[in-house]
Structure 1
Amino acid sequence: MPRIENSIVIEADAGHVFDVTNDIARWSEIFDEYSNAKVVSQEREGRWSEIVFELTNAEGASWRSWRILDHRELVAVAERRDPLYPFRYMHLRWTYQQVPEGTLMTWVQDFELDEKFEVPLETVLERMNVHTRHNQAGIKRKIESGAVRP
């Protein structure tokens, strides 16, 4: 099972970083790649939230995802749902740990490519790593500058 794991330290409180990065309705302003982020359903019960949402990228491709948030432990678990292609599955886990410098934000993506997808795995891994690091650096810049708030 291929895995991408990337971390970054953001000079802000972990709860703040968690809230900003899991505000799905604002992902089009937080992430450079999304032209639209639409929350389809959202429920919260105590420390848990469940969100179903639809993302559209700059090229116009859309997909639906599901996410569970643990507001006490500051963990988000998610999966891409429909369409899955070019993946057979895509599972994500985002964690937020308070450290002396601020928040250590770690994103883990476990996935398997669809056998019909013709791009080599090594190329996909390289692209995903570059893409994830770019997104994390952008979020760091926006949070630390005060450009985005919960």
Structure 2
Amino acid sequence: MSGHTMNEIVVNAPMDLVWSRTNDVADWPNLFTEYANAEVLEDTGTRVRFRLTMFPDERGRVWSWVSERELDEETRTVVARRIETGPFEYMHIRWTYHVVDGGVLMRWTQDFAMKPDAPVDDAGMVARINTNTPVQLSAIKQRLEAEAAQRAAS
């Protein structure tokens, strides 16, 4: 078995702002609501390796892992994967950005498989991702649209 999710949102902001802010991994704790810390371990300009640490979950457990992102600014595509997989056999994420009426369509596609001893199975993780990702996308949308409005007013 494996899991697959696709979530998207239109952000009413310029592409350059959406691209630069969502790919500034070191600043993710100010963009996402779930990350307590983002530590960049290596940055080549087109590839970023980093450690994410979440806020404690409902049981007080703090989740942390290392991931890697490869950015293609020309195609406005990011391909990411977990290096430290934790409960996942694998986790691959693809972010795409497209200019559309109303702003930038940002889409996250996740393909993964859970390990047999993981606390949830593939279907359970699909449900978790499809519950949490819209929350994160909305937070990003709100923050970037406010930043774009502030820049436009300056």
Normalised TM-score (structure 2):
0.88
Encode CA deviations 1:88-147: one digit per residue, 9 max, x unaligned.
Answer: 000000000001210000000000000111424332211111111100000000001118
Contact 2:3 2:125 in 1 (8 A): no
Instruction: Report percent identity of matched pairs.
Output: 38
Alpha-carbon distance in structure 2 between the residues aligned to 1:76 and 1:128:
18
Counterpart check, 1:79 vs 2:81 = yes
Within 5 Å, give how 1:111-130 maps onto structure 2.
Answer: 111-130=112-131
Aligned match of 1:55: 52
Aligned-residue CA RMSD in angstroms?
1.6
Contact 1:15 1:74 in 2 (8 A): no
Aligned match of 1:23: 24
Alpha-carbon distance in structure 2 between the residues aligned to 1:142 and 1:58:
19
Aligned match of 2:139: 138
Contact 1:8 1:106 in 2 (8 A): yes
Could you say what secondary structure the match of 1:131 adopts?
Answer: helix
Aligned length: 144
Normalised TM-score (structure 1):
0.90
Give 1:107's aligned amino acid: W
Contact 1:41 1:51 in 2 (8 A): yes
Aligned match of 1:102: 103
Contact 1:34 1:55 in 2 (8 A): yes
Encode CA deviations 1:4-36: one digit per residue, 9 max, x unaligned.
Answer: 100100101222211111100000111111110
Structure 1 segments unaligned to the other structure (5+ residues): none
